[in-house]
Amino acid sequence: QVQLVESGGGSVQSGGSLRLSCIASRFTYVGHCMAWFRQALGKGREGVAGLLSDGSTEYADSVKGRFTISRDDAKNTLYLSMNSLKPEDTARYYCAVSPLLCGSGSWSQPTRYNYWGQGTQVTVSS
C-alpha cells in the first residue's frame, strides 16, 4: 500500500508560480508510472504531467513549457513546478502512482493508477 500526501497549493495571480509536492509513504514502484492530474469544477480528471517508466516525462499540451514534473527518491517525493500560471490552471491537483509500466500516452489514463493523494487546490486569479 502506498499513501500519498500533496501540499503546496494556494492562490496566486496570473503569471505566478507554485511548486506542488507529493510525499509517498514509500517509492516501491521503481520504473512505474507516476503522474500529476487535475480536476476543475464540473470537469473530468485531466493528466497534466507524467513520469514514464523509462524515466522520460510527458505533459499535456496546455502546460508544456510551463510545468515540470520531477522526483527525489531520497525524499520519496514527487514534484510539480508550475510557472506562468493562468486562470485556466485553476483546479484541484492530485498525484498518482501506478503499479503498471507506462509509456507515451498511456500515462494520462486515470484508470492505470491505484494510488491517489487527497489533492491540493490551486487557484489562479486574473
pLDDT in tens, 50-78: 999 888 999 999 999 999 999 998 888 99
pLDDT in tens, 2-42: 899 999 999 999 999 999 999 988 766 566 789 999 999 99
Q: What percent of the chain has pLDDT over 70?
A: 96
Residue tagged 492530485 (cell numbers): 94
Q: How far apart are CA 34 and CA 53, in angstroms?
A: 8
Written as one letter, the residue type at 21 is: S
Instruction: Name the band, by pLDDT with cuts 50, 70 and 90, for residue 1.
Output: confident
Bridge partner list, 35: 50, 96
Q: How far apart are CA 66 and CA 45, in angstroms?
A: 19
Query: In the predicted model, what is the mean pLDDT of the chain?
Result: 93
**Per-residue model confidence (pLDDT) at position 17:** 98
